[in-house]
């Protein structure tokens, strides 16, 4: 990913990637592996844990394995890893685990590596990381691995690295997160069920061009190009251009929604007649009332007014 200067005239926060601020100096070879053993399929997690322990015992990597115990623990473990001098922190899990680990590494010199084991793996798919855990581990720990500085976003100060959204977007995430068995078929079924109970809502979007009133079925702000599972919400989006991609969908009927669903997996979503796409470094979204949003698939209550901001090149990531 070659560098691209931001073309947005709207100023955005630019906190430079920094060192460890007096902590132990980072070591390029020292690593921490962070794994959530409570998400997803129990049997698969047991197999992954066995694989991780075998890899650490046989690969010669200078690293330790830490298991998370609850929400927020992965962020704390990542911050601790930076303080202890780890130059690379490996997140083993889905988009939620990756989000938490990345929160602890943003604006530091430590690099995030990902072993994608979730159901959607949106960020990993965008970065074209290996889906096989062993291949992903080899890339994550390779001494000469390529490391790039990428953007991330915040919504009212809450970080997201892949995408955030509300409306049908957040409702699908809420329902999907309740499922015990996930994957693409489950995602499609969940999206259909959420669509049939859909409601629309008015909002006003402000960016460096001005203000625009919209009636939306869903609104997403993407940093990468996709939600996960190959569902491409913002075709061509980049994570190193200093901008975010806002994608809004007007209320549609079943036939139009079916066509949009097909476009989502064909990489032509933004060509739909009901789709409005904006690009910029900052957006203010004013809704009629507070409501749910999602950040990287995790659902939270949020205020009526949402301030979405890009933070350019503030996270180091290991890529192929």
**pLDDT of res. 27:** 58
Over residues 302-311, the pLDDT tens digits come to 999 999 999 9
Q: Which CATH number fits domain 158-313: 2.60.200.40, 3.30.479.30, 2.40.30.60, 3.40.50.150?
A: 2.60.200.40
Please name the residues in contact with 113: beta carbons below 8 A apart, sequence gap of 6 or more. Answer: 31, 88, 89, 90, 91, 139, 140, 141, 145, 317, 318
Give me the residue spans of the domains in the chain: 27-151, 158-313
Mean per-residue pLDDT of the chain: 87
**pLDDT of res. 243:** 98
Average pLDDT over residues 266-294: 95
Average pLDDT over residues 251-273: 91
**pLDDT of res. 3:** 37
**pLDDT of res. 7:** 33
Indicate the DSSP class of residue 60. -
The model's confidence at residue 29, banded by pLDDT at 50, 70 and 90, is confident
Give the span between the Cα atoms of 191 and 65, in whole angstroms: 36
Tell whether the model's pLDDT for residue 43 goes beyond 60.
yes
Lowest-confidence region among 24-28, 71-75, 154-158:
24-28
Fold: same for 27-151 and 158-313: no
**pLDDT of res. 189:** 72
Over residues 126-159, the pLDDT tens digits come to 999 999 999 999 999 999 899 999 999 999 999 9
**pLDDT of res. 198:** 74
Over residues 161-220, the pLDDT tens digits come to 999 999 888 777 776 666 666 656 766 677 766 776 777 899 999 999 999 999 999 999
Pair 142, 111: CB distance under 8 Å:
no
Tell whether the model's pLDDT for residue 66 goes beyond 50.
yes
**Percent of the chain surpassing pLDDT 70:** 83
Give the span between the Cα atoms of 164 and 232, in whole angstroms: 14
What is the pTM (predicted TM-score) of this model? 0.85
Tell whether the model's pLDDT for residue 290 goes beyond 80.
yes
The model's confidence at residue 37, banded by pLDDT at 50, 70 and 90, is confident
Give the span between the Cα atoms of 141 and 62, in whole angstroms: 10
CATH topology of domain 27-151: Rossmann fold (3.40.50)
Over residues 5-22, the pLDDT tens digits come to 333 323 333 343 444 344
Over residues 217-256, the pLDDT tens digits come to 999 999 999 988 889 999 999 999 999 999 999 999 889 9
């Amino acid at each position: 990913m070659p560098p691209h200067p931001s073309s947005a005239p709207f100023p955005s926060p630019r906190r430079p990637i920094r060192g460890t601020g007096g902590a132990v100096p980072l070591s390029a070879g020292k690593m921490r592996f962070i794994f959530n053993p409570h998400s997803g399929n129990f049997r698969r997690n047991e197999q992954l844990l066995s694989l991780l322990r075998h890899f650490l015992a046989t690969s010669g990597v200078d690293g330790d394995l830490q298991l998370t115990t609850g929400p927020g623990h992965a962020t704390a473990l990542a911050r601790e890893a930076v303080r202890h001098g780890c130059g690379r922190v490996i997140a083993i899990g889905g988009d939620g685990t990756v989000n938490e680990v990345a929160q602890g590494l943003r604006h530091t010199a430590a690099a995030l590596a990902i072993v994608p084991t979730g159901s959607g793996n949106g960020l990993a798919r965008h970065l074209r990381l290996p889906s096989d855990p062993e291949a992903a581990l080899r890339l994550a720990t390779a001494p000469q691995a390529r490391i790039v500085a990428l953007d991330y976003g915040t919504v009212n100060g809450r970080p997201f690295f892949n995408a955030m959204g509300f409306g049908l977007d957040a409702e699908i995430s809420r329902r999907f997160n309740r499922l015990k068995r996930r994957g693409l078929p489950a995602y499609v079924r969940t999206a259909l069920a959420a669509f049939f109970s859909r409601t629309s809502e008015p909002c006003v979007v402000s960016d460096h061009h001005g203000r625009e009133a919209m009636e939306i079925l869903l609104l997403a702000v993407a940093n990468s190009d996709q939600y996960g599972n190959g569902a491409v919400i913002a075709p061509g989006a980049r994570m190193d251009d200093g901008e975010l991609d806002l994608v809004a969908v007007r209320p549609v009927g079943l036939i139009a929604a079916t066509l949009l669903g097909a476009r989502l997996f064909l990489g032509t979503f933004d060509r739909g007649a009901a789709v409005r796409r904006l690009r910029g470094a900052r957006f203010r979204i004013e809704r009629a009332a507070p409501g749910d949003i999602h950040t990287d698939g995790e659902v939270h209550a949020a205020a009526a007014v949402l301030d979405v901001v890009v933070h350019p090149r503030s996270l180091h990531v290991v890529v192929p």
